[in-house]
Amino acid sequence: MAAAVSALGSLGDLGDGGSSGSEDEAQPSAAEAAAAQKREERLRKFRELHLKRNEARKLNHQEVVEEDKRLKLPPNWEAKKARLEWELKVEEKKKECAARGEDYERVKLLEISAEDAERWERKKKRKNPDLGFSDYAAAQLRQYQRLTRQIKPDLEQYEKLKEQYGEALYPTSDSLLHGTHVPDKEGIDRMVADLEKQIEKREKYSRRRPYNDDADIDYINERNAKFNKKAERFYGKYTAEIKQNLERGTAV
């Protein structure tokens, strides 16, 4: 009887030893699963970073290409592009107004706000400011622009001349029209009135400047004095130090 009990006890001990071994085997498998899950998570993050890097590289390449295109364009391309887009919009608006039987200028004025109108009026007043005399070429250009703005073509007279002269109205290198055209009295009167205005305006600006007795004499005649004044006006601020050194005798 005692032998049987001892045998059963030994069998129980064997049973306990087997269950503990299975638990030890289950614990490493759970750790491996956790490690595998962590590894998959890291791989997923790595793949995401890899895709983001490729996308950033692609976008960077596109930006480089666009910047290269912009650098190859003319410097005022943006302004020209905006102007062309505005002109296209204006043409579309004109077509829409024509299709509805409306006047485009009237529709455009109705869409302008009072603030925009005031701003444009101020801009028109500043459009042609009097910058004074800079050189004779600029003065001549301003005079030419002023005279051409005053020209108002007479379309009726133009049509009459076309009927009278025909193709001879548009001369070529072989045409001999010298002395054949006789201007009308109104045109001559307009020319005389404009010339008188020019002479009157020129007399206001051709007055003799007052002479300063205390000014330094650095000229030999009247023409040289005018040249020195002009040179002083344009280059005086650059040569002031040199002039002072020459007067003190310290110039190198």
As a whole number of angstroms, the distance between CA 12 and CA 23 comes to 17
pLDDT of res. 7: 46
Q: Structure pTM?
A: 0.29
CA distances from 202 to 134, 143, 196, 198, 205 (A): 16, 12, 10, 6, 5
In this predicted model, what pLDDT tens digit does every residue of 28-58 receive, in sequence order? 688 888 888 888 999 999 899 999 999 999 8
Q: How distant is the alpha carbon of residue 235 from its chain centre?
A: 32
The number of CA neighbours under 13 Å toward the Cβ of 161 is 14
CA distances from 199 to 119, 192, 204, 206 (A): 36, 11, 9, 10
pLDDT of res. 35: 85
In this predicted model, what pLDDT tens digit does every residue of 116-134 receive, in sequence order? 778 888 777 766 666 666 7
Question: Which SS3 state, helix, strand or coil, does residue 212 take?
Answer: coil
pLDDT at 19 over 60: no
